[in-house]
Amino acid sequence: MALKQFNLLSFIFILALISLSPIGQAKRNTPSDKKPSPFEFIKTVQGCHKGNKTKEIHNLKKYLHKFGYLQYPNQTHANNDDFDEALESAVKTYQRNYNINPTGTLDATTVSKMTTPRCGVPDIINGKNTMQKHGTKEHESNSSSKHIHTVSHYSFLPGNPRWPRSKTHLTYMFSANTPAAAVGPVSRAFQKWASSTHFTFSLAQSSADLVIGFHSGDHGDGNPFDGRGGTLAHAFAPTNGRFHYDADELWSVGPVQDAFDLETVALHEIGHLLGLGHSAVEAAIMYSGIGAGVTKNLHPDDIQGIKSLYNV
């Protein structure tokens, strides 16, 4: 009896703790420790173009390398501040992917796009530009009525990895360090994907197909997070199943100023878990950028992508 009472009390105590807990790093969100975003430096190279040599160019090269746009065989060129031909070409590819006039100059539009917080999964993987694959493929229900056609911009990850045909039910679980507040939003995101695809999902206690966790900085998978802002999350292609949130972000349930919506980010990362790459459609959940205080839902482009990948 005494034991039962203790269990009940500790249960209530834990419940109280959970409901009082800030999500992620919310308690640190005071104006005094507002650090600049890891992408903030890009503002200092606005206006730069080929031939310029400016302090932060080497960091821009790192940024474009991280997201797959730039590869130097010679490390001297990778680490210097010369706005060279290779960098110009990378900037142009970035601009084409994000529907910006491909001038190769870091104009305000390009800088604004590049400084948007985003998913850590690259846009170009092993030389495959995931944002262009279907960029020119038009689903012409009728090609002679040009203004009616819709252009599909979803993409697959390199090699089109996907879950086996028979595996339409996937289980998921959370790593031990997951804030309790994340469980609901992630589960809702799975239910949204389930209601629009042939997949079903359920929560498991162990050995699940998909594992969701919160990680900080370098966490051992070769894709270090970068603190507040910058990259927000990443996930691996089928059938790896790992989905990591950046634990240093300010996370929220629903739209909250300066915070990132757990469910919106989950919808995006689940897309990667199922095999989708980034989409050039800004309204699609698989678009790489995610604004603070913004919520998004699945878009026909995302659904079409899964249906096409799995031939359903």
Task: List the single partner that 47 binds among Zn ion, ligand NAG, none, CB under 5 to 8 Å by kind.
Answer: ligand NAG
Smallest distance from the beta carbon of 54 to ligand NAG, in angstroms?
5
- Phi, psi of 215, deg, nearest 5: -135, 155
How does strand 138-139 pair with strand 150-151? antiparallel
Smallest distance from the beta carbon of 88 to ligand NAG, in angstroms?
12
Nearer to ligand NAG, 114 or 290 (CB): 114
Q: Which of 138, 140, 269, 282 is catalytic?
A: 269
Q: Which residue is nearest to Zn ion (CB)?
A: 119
**Annotated binding residue 119:** yes
Look up 269 and say whether it is catalytic.
yes
Smallest distance from the beta carbon of 10 to Zn ion, in angstroms?
33
Smallest distance from the beta carbon of 244 to ligand NAG, in angstroms?
35
DSSP letter, residue 276: B
For 175, the token pair is 């790593």
Half-sphere exposure (Cβ direction) of 148: Cα atoms closer than 13 Å? 6
Sign (positive or negative) of CA dihedral 159, 129, 234, 286: negative
Residues 273-312 that bind ligand NAG (CB under 6 A): none
54 touching ligand NAG, by CB under 6 A: yes
R_g over Cα of the chain? 21
Size of the site for ligand NAG (CB under 6 A): 11
51 touching ligand NAG, by CB under 6 A: yes
Task: List the single partner that 244 binds among Zn ion, ligand NAG, none, CB under 5 to 8 Å by kind.
Answer: Zn ion
Strand order in the sheet with 210-215: 200-203, 169-174, 210-215, 242-246, 233-235
163 Cβ neighbours under 8 A, 6+ residues apart: 170, 238, 239, 274, 275
147 touching ligand NAG, by CB under 6 A: no
C-alpha dist (Å) from residue 136 to 97, 133, 155, 164: 12, 7, 12, 28
Question: What is the crossing angle of helices 57-66 and 85-97, to 10°?
Answer: 50
The site map against ligand NAG for 20-49 (x = CB under 6 A) is ---------------------------xx-
Binding ligand NAG (rule: CB under 6 A), the pick from 19, 142, 205, 207 is 142
Return residues touching ligand NAG (CB under 6 A): 47-48, 51-52, 54, 74, 76-77, 142, 144-145
Active site members: 269
